[in-house]
């Protein structure tokens, strides 16, 4: 199966979740104008007045959170239904946000201008078949003094069997190196009931993620590892806003990571 076909499957699959996500995140944004985790807010620093592009923005829940922190935001997503609901969500809250429907794998063919911050987070990069293309698109979007920020699920955690993990059993299910594309027949889970739909995802090691950024001309400012996950599994406790962990694993297991990178001078 070629990448285009796999992306087409993913587009149809994500379209199916858009309305549910819109309804869930609208309710959440009514209670809290910034849904981002404390870690992300702290690491991003002051973004007031910054031109920010949010890659894989879903229905724009985090894009609007970034706007509420003062950034001038543009969101990009593959699924037309996500873009439709992202625009509606922005209208509902009367927040200015631009949205672009695009495949990240094709992004370097578009001219979206230059940004102070390129942002992506929490369950995004595993949907992309080629991180070299991703990194080159990021480089192209950055202003000379801009930065790229990613906050993601840790590659170590992605080796584990999630079902066992819910019951505090650590079982290695997937290899760390040479991971292959995985196909599934269901999509959903984090803010929607699962729907039957063919979808494809990819798992990456740290070097798979970092080296394309370096090869695209970026310089890594930091790599932080976190013992918290961006979504709740089983009876995990919410130990900080939108950050989950089992008490038993405090300080022991890497569940998340973040990277800040700038253009290499």
Ligand X SMILES: C[S@@+](CC[C@H](N)C(=O)[O-])C[C@H]1O[C@@H](n2cnc3c(N)ncnc32)[C@H](O)[C@@H]1O
Cα three-residue angle 212-125-57, rounded to 5 degrees: 125
187 contributes a contact to ligand X by CB under 6 A: no
Stretch that binds ligand X, among 54-62, 162-170, 214-222, 240-248 (CB under 6 A): 54-62
Is 59:90 a contact under the CB 8 Å cutoff?
A: no
Is 200:187 a contact under the CB 8 Å cutoff?
A: no
Q: Shortest approach of ligand X to residue 36 CB, angstroms?
A: 9
**Closest to 100 measured CA to CA, from 149, 150, 146, 56:** 56
Closest CB to ligand X among 7 and 44? 7
Q: Shortest approach of ligand X to residue 37 CB, angstroms?
A: 10
C-alpha distance from residue 166 to each of 24, 79, 190, 207, 232 (Å): 23, 30, 15, 28, 9
Stretch that binds ligand X, among 6-14, 167-175, 215-223, 241-249 (CB under 6 A): 6-14
Stretch that binds ligand X, among 56-64, 140-148, 210-218, 238-246 (CB under 6 A): 56-64
Give the neighbor-by-neighbor strand order of the sheet with 115-121: 97-101, 72-77, 51-55, 115-121, 142-153, 256-263, 218-226
78 contributes a contact to ligand X by CB under 6 A: yes
| Contacts (CB under 6 A) with ligand X, residues 147-166 | none
Count of chain residues binding ligand X (CB under 6 A): 19
Closest CB to ligand X among 47 and 78? 78
C-alpha 257: how far from chain center: 12
Give one word for 49, left, alpha or beta, with left for phi > 0 and alpha for psi -120 to 50. Answer: left
Q: Which of 58, 74, 228, 243 binds ligand X (CB under 6 A)?
A: 58
Q: Which residues bind ligand X (CB under 6 A)?
A: 7, 10, 14, 56, 58, 62, 77-79, 82, 103-105, 121-124, 127-128
């Amino acid at each position: 199966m070629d990448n285009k076909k796999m992306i087409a499957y993913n587009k149809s699959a994500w379209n199916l979740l858009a309305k549910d996500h819109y309804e869930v995140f609208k309710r959440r944004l009514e209670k809290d104008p910034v849904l981002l985790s404390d870690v992300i807010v702290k690491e991003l620093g002051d973004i007031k007045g910054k031109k920010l592009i949010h890659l894989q923005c879903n229905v724009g829940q985090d894009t609007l959170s970034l706007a509420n922190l003062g950034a001038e935001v543009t969101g990009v997503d593959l699924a037309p239904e996500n873009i439709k609901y992202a625009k509606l969500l922005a209208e509902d809250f009367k927040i200015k946000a631009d949205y672009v429907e695009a495949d990240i794998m094709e992004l370097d063919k578009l001219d979206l201008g230059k940004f102070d911050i390129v942002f992506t987070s929490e369950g995004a990069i595993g949907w992309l078949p080629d991180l070299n293309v991703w990194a080159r698109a990021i480089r192209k979007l950055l202003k000379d003094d801009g930065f790229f920020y990613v906050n993601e699920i840790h590659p170590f955690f992605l080796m584990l069997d999630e079902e066992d993990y819910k019951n505090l059993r650590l079982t290695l299910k997937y290899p760390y190196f040479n991971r292959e594309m995985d196909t599934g027949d269901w999509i959903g889970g984090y803010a929607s009931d699962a729907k039957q739909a063919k979808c494809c995802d990819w798992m990456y090691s740290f070097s798979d993620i970092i080296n394309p950024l370096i090869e695209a001309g970026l310089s890594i400012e930091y790599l932080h590892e976190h013992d918290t996950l961006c979504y709740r599994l089983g009876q995990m406790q919410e130990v900080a806003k939108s950050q989950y962990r089992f008490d038993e694993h405090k300080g022991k297991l890497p569940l998340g990571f973040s990277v800040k990178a700038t253009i290499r001078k």
